[in-house]
Amino acid sequence: MKYTISDAAKIIGVTAHTLRYYDKEGMLPFIDKSESGARIFKESDFEWLYIIECLKKTGMSLKEIKIFVDWGMAGDETIDQRYAMFHGQREKVEAQIADLNEALDVLKYKCWYYETAKAAGTLAVHDTIQPKDIPEEIRHVKEKTKVIHMLDTR
C-alpha cells in the first residue's frame, strides 16, 4: 500500500511539514517520489519513521539521527556503529528515567507534605511528624528535602 505525506504524518503523529523537513535534511533517503516529486510512503518506510521519532524523543539531535539513517542505508558494514549508538542512547535514557523518577518522588513527597498541612490547617504539623508517619515509598525524600522544608516554613 502507498501513503501520501499527510497519511504518513497522521500515522506516526507528526506534521507533514516535519516529514518534509526530514526529507530536506536527507533523513528520508528510503522514501520514493512520484514523477511529479510527491513523496510516496510504503509500509516498510514506517519502521524507519518510528525509529526516527523514537530517537528524537530520547533527545538525540537530528544530525545524530541522520548519521544513524546513513549507517542504515550503508548496510551490514555499519552494524557495530548502529549497535553502539543504540546502546549509548539507551544508557542516556535510563539515566534520564532515573533522574525523572527521583524528581517524581520529590513531587509525590511535596504533594503529601501539603496535603497533610492542608488537612491540619498549618505547616507546623510537620514539626511533630515521625518518619513512620510518612508513606514508605517517599520516606527517603525527607532527608533530601530538609532545606526545602526550611524554605516552606518561612
Going residue by residue through the chain, which has 154 residues, state the pLDDT in tens, using 9 for 90 and above: 999 999 999 999 999 999 999 999 999 999 999 999 999 999 999 999 999 999 999 999 999 999 999 999 999 999 999 999 999 999 999 999 999 999 999 999 999 999 999 999 999 998 888 889 999 999 889 877 665 555 555 5
| Biggest distance spanned by C-alpha atoms of the chain | 77
Q: How many CB atoms lie within 10 A of CB 19?
A: 22
**For the whole prediction, is pTM greater than 0.85?**
no
Cell of 51: 525509529
| Integer Cα distance of 1 and 33 in angstroms | 14
Give me the pLDDT at residue 153, please.
56
Give me the pLDDT at residue 126, please.
87
Give me the pLDDT at residue 82, please.
98
Give me the pLDDT at residue 30, please.
94
